[in-house]
Structure 1
Amino acid sequence: MKRRDFFNKSATGAIAAGLIPVSSQAAEPSSSSGERTSDQWLQLGTGQMGLPDRKKTVDADVAVLGGGLAGMCAAVAAARNGAKTILVQDRSVLGGNASSEIRVHVNGVTHLRPKGIPERETGIIEEILLHNRFHNAQESYPVWDHVLYDFVTREPNLDLMLNTQAIEAEMAGSTIVAARCWQMTTETKITIRAKQFIDCSGDGLLAATAGALYRTGREASSEFDERFAPKVADGWQMGASLLLSTKDMGKPMPYEPPSYVIKYEAEKSHPKRKISPYEGGIWWIELGSEFDIIADQEKNRHKLMGYLHGVWDYIKNSGEYPESANHVLDWVGTLPGRRESRRFIGDFVLSEKDLTEHRHFEDAVAYGGWSLDEHCPGGIENLEDPPSYFHDHFSKVYEIPFRSLYSKNISNLLFAGRNISQTHIALSSSRVMGTCSLMGQAAGTAAALCVTKTIPPRELAQQHINELQERLLRDDAFIPNRPANDDADLAKTASLIFASSTITGDAALLNDGVSRDVDDQVHHWQSDGLPAEVQLEWEHPVSLSKVEIKCDTNVKRNILMRKDSRVSETFTNTVPEELLKALEVEARVRGKWVSVGAEEKNRTRLIGFQFKPVEVTAIRIRAKETYGCENAKLFEVRCYA
């Protein structure tokens, strides 16, 4: 059977573990594609011989391939914006490189120079990190997996398929008609038909089989005028790493390496290959590739396991780290976390100077600010080189355009994550998961709009980019240099905004379109003590049914889970004390104040209250309690009919 005919005989809506009597099936030859034509199944419960019917077809508006944080944010964004969405993940857990299988920190714009201050991501990724702070105070990675599972499965318009890989695209010209998938745990062939596809899988197998243009390796410096690129293009891709964590047992613990250990030659190592602290892992136990890093995965995995134990053997038995005497390996990775493979080509290729010169894009939908952090090409096999070349550091964020998030030649294909349209050097910064999550929310929101308007992503970019940006800003994404200006927001028509008390800022700033303080410019109102009130007045009655508030979570302090549980000026390991916990919204109706919404245990920065339409002349927001601060701080108030 030809590869393109794979799954062609799938039964729509078939139950995954059903039984088809042999007599109902025409005899078919066995095939290497996995067709179950010669299965000899005697089902004793029914007394029948038959074939297992493990094929099904499902339909959706948007199919998201890849359940890392970019894919999660894409799927949730699409679902919340009205698209029936399916999220496909090839592992048994969500989170990708952040999951318990790999355990990479969810960095983003984590350390802007010169003081290491973040410009933290908001929107869906912040919701995820806050959800973890409320449900995983112990900072357990296995529990984090379940937090992510809860975050996705609670969405009513979103279906999740775990242990499932999209392995081939079914095409009609330049349009993807369906994704042919294999679910390992149920031995089921699944065909997903959708209107828009978003490949957030990192490696991008579905996109590649669709014929989407892509490249691997390093561009020559002359192609995009990149100062940090090599003079001659080559095939090198940043490597995959294995991490470890250790535990102090309180008594001497000897260590004997396994048979597959590869000796660590410390005397050959570059001084920047720091070993201490090692308790939470050593990120440079890494292997790159100069040709096909995907094909090399299993070979590299085995070698990385050997290198990991070689480094640990050196720590334990060389005598250089006597403080390790009581330490044991508490957890070791077996799934390498990959940084780079395919990069798909869109209508715009993001490159080094777009980042370092902070170029402005009219179609900006996301941002980044991690350092230009290009890892040593050979990884641990190039010991004499530094593990990473930190080419440049940022003092402010850069923009990411929507034109880099969809395919140049496949009409209904979008991307988010490390596989977007960018150069190797640009990837060295944008690949971190906080930044990838912003791309995911943008791609998911765009896909839902494409479904609603029955248009491809390119047309959305050319004709409706303002609508996409306004939707993202309303959903608490931040777009640099792009204030919100939603014509439907009735708060902008209020004749007066005032507060019961003010210690910093001004209540009038709550509808200036910027929902955080940026570049030392104030865009907030902060109360002087609690409780406190903000009131919006209209000269004539307006019909309202929704009030949306953006409160403070201190985006200048990181809330990602870390193995070292860091607490400092720029990191916290608890729920942000600035977050508003209890509040009430009242409306003045025919001269009387009536409650239209209240929350006693708020857990998000974006707080929405929806109620039956009512004619009002004023809205009053009463902030009652935070999670620790004595004052409440708000950044935006919106009102909608």
Structure 2
Amino acid sequence: MTMKYNSINNLLRIMLLCCATLTLHAQQQVFVETESFANKGGWVIDQQSFAVMGSSYLMAHGMGRPVGDAVTTVEFPAKGKYRVWVRTKDWAPFPKGPGKFTVTVNGKQLTPVFGESGNDQWKWYDGGEVNITEQQVKLSLHDLTGFNGRCDALYFTTAAKFTPPNDLPTLSAFRRKLLHTTELPADGGQYDLVVVGGGIAGTCAAISGARMGLKVALIQDRPVLGGNNSSEIRVHLMGDIDKNYYPKLGRIVREMDNGDPGNGNPDAREYGDKRKIDIAKAEKNLHLFLNTYVYKVEKENDRIIAVTGRDIASNQETRFTGTYFSDCTGDGTVGYLAGAEFRMGRESKTETGESLAAEKQDSFTLGTSNLWASVPVDSATTFPATPWAMQFSNEYHIDSYKADWEWETGFGNFNTITDAEKIRDHNLRAIYGNWSYLKNNKPEKYAKQELAWVAYIGGKRESRRIIGDHVLNQMDIQEGKMYPDGAVTATWTIDLHFPDPKNSRYFEGQEFFAGTKHIRVAPYTIPYRCLYSHNISNLFMAGRNISTTHVAFGSTRVMRTCGMMGEVVGFAAAVAKKYHSSPRGVYQDHLTELMNLLKE
């Protein structure tokens, strides 16, 4: 019955799209992705929900101060009257949110104010009719509040009764048709190793492989490298590299390390974005592709043969073919798209035998942080009331000039992948609500403090964990088991966050502040078998998505440790290529050579 229903549903979608296509041929139309605006002003590109939306969008992230206009010029196919549609949402409708903005066409402002509908779903809003008298048309997005108004796309049509689609499959096809996206993406080249994800783990994997003589592609979906250690997220590196059983490991991590600026430092330079990119670009065998979101995987049997990425601004698609692939996305995106076995959430005590495991299996994961910081200023400043944000009081507020790791949302209340936008927005509502309370109720301390930085890119901790030939568990860690393929030395505590009890008392089910209990461990090794997929024969992984239980993940997830995993992947890929083998083949047939590489 379900299969029949799905078939009918798909057929209806196809019919709808065909009808829409016939209509489109009979009308003039212009489709504009806002992320492709030539001058983005103070608006920023957000691609974090690409997996859900199929697109990036622009957001006015002004921390309560209106940002500069985003402006572009578009060529229209013909003059005449067009109806304008604006795709947006009200991200914090309590009852109406703060993300208000207007749209201007050739200097004329459309009548509606967008972003205050009271509806928190992405949808198309009617902007009214405009008369296009010149084929070169200037478009502007004008932010009214600085509080994260957002716009996905603008659509102009001469068909008065046509409404653009909202459901994702039809909308995705609609986008492709109107953007004239080719069915054949650009050729990004053939590589020995394709690394997807440019955090510390992925960057180290790419550099390691390149230095071993491999031709490497490093694909990152943001304009910077470093992931959680970049200036966009600002988490400091943790885990020791000087207690390593293999002193050669950690050298690349050390190159990436810009010192310890702490978490949420207001000075972006402290996180060394340029340093990381310069190191990567200096490698002659490494080809760097920034701002590219990988959303498609091609396979032959159990092997990945190619991945396709889309530029988060231009929407240009590029296809990368390779012999080996490494999923360093954190979310396990490549593995998921390829059909790799994975886990998400907590295993039960019965399943794993771990004393720290949950009584029952569930979907609980560690959350996502959006850090923030304020700085002192010479004179008193104001911050508006935020009725749409989380509400604080004398009884409960967080008295602090800046955030640390505790500002965290998730904990099973949200899915860290499909609810990424909701999680980030929940964090913003907590940050702005608390700051508004501090500014307006504690002037003696906060009058001359001003928000200097708020992260709009979420710093994730946990999502998918791809299953390898070994699943690291609590006993492996606490008993210090030394397997023959023990590769990366890890030192971080078993650090499993949970909602802060006081925060839960005041915001039950909407927690945004965490606690933890550090369970200290002696240095132990992570087996190489945790760094490749059990069922996708040419897929490595490094970072927080490696093969562990939820409990063990609490220790392996910190970035210096993840970077050393990447270094091992680079060595292993070189051994695999040398013998025309596979990641598993390296373990089965060439482990001595791999381990000797780590020792030399």
TM-score by length of 1: 0.60
Aligned to 1:190: 318
Q: 1:110 to 1:374 in 2, by over 3 A?
A: farther
1:225 to 347, 350, 353: 353
How far apart, in 2, do the equivalents of 1:447 and 1:36 lie? 36
CA–CA distance in 2 between the matches of 1:31 and 1:252? 48
Select 2:237's aligned residue among 88, 106, 123. Answer: 106
One-letter identity of the residue aligned with 2:531? L
Alignment RMSD: 3.3
Matched, 1:424 2:550: yes
Structure 1 residue corresponding to 2:517, chosen from 390, 395, 415? 390
Distance 1:326 1:401, change over 3 A: same
Take 2:278 and 2:231, find their aligned partners in 1: how far apart are those partners?
A: 15
Instruction: Quote how far apart the aligned CAs of 1:92 are.
Output: 1.2
Aligned to 1:300: 423
Q: Contact between 2:234 and 2:271, CA under 8 Å: does it hold in 1?
A: no
Could you tell me whether the CA contact under 8 Å between 1:373 and 1:388 is conserved in 2?
no
Q: 1:341 deviation in Å?
A: 0.5
Is 1:162 matched up with 2:162?
no
On the 8 A contact 2:366/2:462 being kept in 1, the answer is yes
Q: In structure 2, what is the equivalent of residue 179 of structure 1?
A: 307
Q: Is the 8 A contact 1:380 1:387 kept in 2?
A: no
Say which SS state the counterpart of residue 181 (structure 1) adopts.
strand
Match of 1:63 in 2: 194
Structure 1 contact 237–289 (Cα < 8 Å) conserved: yes
- Name the counterpart of 1:95: 226
1:359-400: CA deviation from partner (whole Å, max 9, x where unpaired): 112101102111211111599963579822314113x31111
Give 2:379's aligned amino acid. K
Alignment deviations for residues 222-254 of structure 1 (CA, whole Å, 9 cap, x no partner) = 222211111111111111011011111143333
1:72 matched residue in structure 2: 203
Q: Structure 1 CA distance, aligned partners of 2:183 and 2:468?
A: 42
Partner of 1:613: none
Corresponding residue for 2:599? 473
Distance in structure 1 (CA, Å) of the matches to 2:239 and 2:248: 7
* Inter-partner Cα distance in structure 1 for 2:447 and 2:469: 55
Helix, strand or coil at the partner of 1:197: strand
- The answer for unaligned runs of 5 or more in structure 2 is 1-9, 12-169
C-alpha displacement at 1:265, in angstroms?
A: 5.8
**1:604-623 correspondence runs (5 A):** none
Shift of 1:189: 1.6
Tell me the equivalent position of 1:442.
Answer: 568
Q: Distance in 2 between the 1:52 and 1:102 partners?
A: 35
For the pair 1:333 / 2:455, whether they are aligned, the reply is: yes
Which secondary structure state, in structure 1, belongs to the residue aligned with residue 318 of structure 2? strand
- Percent of residue pairs identical: 34
Deviation at 1:108, TM superposition (A): 1.4
- Cα drift, residue 69 of structure 1: 0.5
- Tell me if the contact between 2:406 and 2:515 (Cα under 8 Å) persists in the aligned partners: no
Alpha-carbon distance in structure 2 between the residues aligned to 1:53 and 1:173: 22
Q: Any idea what the Cα deviations from partners look like across 1:473-507, whole Å, max 9, x if unmatched?
A: 33xxxxxxxxxxxxxxxxxxxxxxxxxxxxxxxxx
Give how far 1:196 is off. Answer: 0.4
- Give the match for residue 156 of structure 2: none
CA deviation digits over 1:183-209, x for unaligned, max 9?
Answer: 233322211110000000001211111
Aligned pairs, how many? 422
Question: Partners in 1 of 2:399 and 2:481 — Cα distance?
Answer: 38
Q: Does residue 213 of the first structure (1) align with residue 341 of the second (2)? A: yes
Paired AA for residue 234 in structure 2: R
8 Å CA contact 2:280–2:286 kept in 1: the answer is: yes
2:469 corresponds to 1:344: no
Q: Whole-Å Cα distance in 1 between the matches of residues 259 and 401 of structure 2?
A: 28
Note if 1:252 corresponds to 2:375. no
2:489 touches 2:523 (CA, 8 Å); kept in 1? yes
Render the CA deviation track for 1:234-283: whole Å, top value 9, x for unaligned: 111111011011111143333334454211367468xxxxx566435453
Contact residue 372 and residue 426 of structure 1 kept, 8 A: yes
TM-score, with structure 2 as normaliser: 0.64
SS at match of 1:235: coil
Matches within 5 A, 1:249-328: 249-258=377-386, 260-264=388-392, 267=395, 275=398, 278-279=401-402, 281=404, 283-290=406-413, 292-319=415-442, 322-328=444-450
Answer with 1 or 2: which has the greater Rg. Answer: 1
After superposition, give the CA deviation of every residue in 1:123-169 in whole Å (9 maximum; x if it has no partner): 11012226999xxxx97437711111111111100001111122121
| 8 Å CA contact retained: 1:204, 1:419 | yes
How big is each residue's C-alpha offset from its partner over 1:28-58, in whole Å with a ceiling of 9 and x where there is no partner?
A: xx994578666689xxxxxxxxx89962241
AA matched with 2:572: A
Q: What is the alpha-carbon distance in structure 2 between the residues aligned to residue 132 and residue 237 of structure 1? A: 27
Partners of 1:238 and 1:164 in 2: CA distance? 26
Aligned to 1:356: 478
One-letter amino acid matched to 1:387: A
Give 2:496's aligned residue.
374
